């Protein structure tokens, strides 16, 4: 078989041209497209990884913020609870103190009211008893209670201890004031003269006496001068009765039967 070298050469040239054309116009665009596609895919993968990393970072930041918020919220709640408990304890303590003060005030008010009522009852009782006693003495002895009181006061004054008389004299002479004599009843002129004579006798000199009626004394006589007082009263006779009425009978029978006496004191 005879080889046609022209044909062989021509086919070889055609093959080479075909290869060049394929490489030039087919393989390169395809390879270029494949490279560009790979690069695009790689870029998209990298972008996706970056977005995922950013999302993970944002998620971590969000989780940290939530944790910080939870800690802050817990701290605020704990502080609010502590402040609330402290305020509650403070208010409770204040209410307790106010209740104690209120109870003390009520107890004092009740005690004062009871004492006032007891004093009023005792005073009314003494007034009634003295009225009955005055009437009984007038009917039985034909001598008024006033005369008996003045006579008893004079006797007690004259029988007073020397120390008591000296205190009275010193008080009078220190200023030479008018001597005030208070009684629960109006003293007749005769009794005023008797009192003036007894006082002059104790003082050893003439004294100016001023007489004043003071019903709240109930019964008895008080003599005062320059801050000094001599007093006599029937209260001792009625002391046990008074204690029984006001519910405070604490004295012994001997004290309950104590007789009225002359009392000297600084005022």
Contact between 108 and 116 under an 8 Å Cβ cutoff? The reply is no
pLDDT value at position 84? Answer: 83
Q: Where are the domains of the chain?
A: 143-266
- pLDDT value for 142: 43
Per-residue pLDDT of the chain (267 residues; tens, 9 = 90+): 567 777 878 888 888 888 887 777 777 778 788 888 888 888 888 888 888 888 888 888 888 888 888 888 888 888 888 888 888 888 888 888 888 898 888 888 888 888 888 778 877 776 776 667 656 544 543 446 667 778 888 888 888 888 888 888 888 887 666 788 888 778 888 889 998 999 888 888 888 888 998 877 666 788 888 878 887 766 545 555 556 655 654 444 444 444 445 555 555
Asked whether 239 and 255 are in contact (CB, 8 A), the reply is yes
| Contact yes or no for 187/211 (Cβ under 8 A) | yes
The closest alpha carbon to 174, from 224, 225, 231, belongs to: 225
Which tokens in the block code for residue 107?
């107890």
In this structure, how many other beta carbons lie within 10 angstroms of the beta carbon of residue 73?
10
β-strands 263-266, 221-225 pairing: unpaired
Shortest CA distance to 215 belongs to which of 183, 179, 263? Answer: 183
CA distance 218 to 169: 27
Q: Are 251 and 245 in contact (CB under 8 A)?
A: no
The whole-number pLDDT of residue 135 equals: 62
CA pair distance 182, 195, nearest whole angstrom: 12
- How far the first Cα of the chain sits from its last, in Å, is 174
What is the residue whose two structure tokens read 């009852």? 121
**Which residue, 151, 158, 148, 230, is CA-closest to 198?**
158
Q: Where are the beta strands (DSSP E) in the chain?
A: 179-183, 209-213, 221-225, 228-232, 263-266
Task: Report the alpha-carbon distance of residue 183 to residue 149 in Å, rounded.
Answer: 10
Instruction: State residue 42 phi and psi, 5-degree precision.
Output: -65, -40
- How would you classify the pairing of strands 263-266 and 228-232? antiparallel
The residue ranges of DSSP E strands in 76-235, in sequence order, are 179-183, 209-213, 221-225, 228-232
SS3 helix, strand, coil % of the chain, rounded to 5? 70, 10, 20
């Amino acid at each position: 078989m005879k080889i046609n070298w022209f044909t062989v050469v021509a086919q070889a040239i055609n093959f080479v041209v075909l290869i060049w054309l394929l490489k030039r116009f087919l393989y390169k665009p395809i390879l270029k497209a494949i490279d560009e596609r790979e690069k695009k895919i790689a870029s998209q993968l990298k972008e996706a990884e970056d977005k995922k990393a950013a999302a993970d970072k944002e998620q971590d930041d969000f989780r940290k913020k939530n944790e910080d918020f939870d800690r802050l919220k817990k701290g605020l709640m704990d502080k609010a609870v502590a402040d609330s408990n402290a305020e509650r304890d403070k208010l409770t303590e204040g209410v307790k103190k106010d209740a104690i003060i209120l109870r003390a005030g009520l107890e004092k008010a009740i005690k004062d009211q009871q004492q006032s009522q007891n004093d009023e009852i005792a005073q009314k009782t003494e007034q009634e008893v003295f009225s009955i006693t005055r009437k009984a003495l007038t009917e039985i002895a034909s001598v008024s209670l006033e005369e008996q009181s003045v006579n008893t006061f004079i006797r007690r004054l004259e029988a007073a201890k020397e120390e008591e008389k000296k205190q009275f004299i010193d008080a009078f002479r220190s200023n030479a004031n008018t001597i005030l004599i208070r009684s629960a009843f109006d003293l007749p002129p005769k009794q005023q003269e008797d009192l003036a004579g007894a006082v002059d006798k104790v003082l050893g000199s003439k004294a100016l006496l001023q007489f004043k009626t003071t019903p709240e004394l109930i019964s008895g006589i008080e003599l005062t001068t320059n801050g000094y007082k001599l007093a006599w009263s029937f209260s001792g006779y009625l002391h046990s009765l008074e204690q029984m009425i006001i519910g405070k009978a604490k004295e012994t029978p001997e004290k309950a039967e104590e007789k009225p006496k002359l009392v000297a004191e600084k005022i």
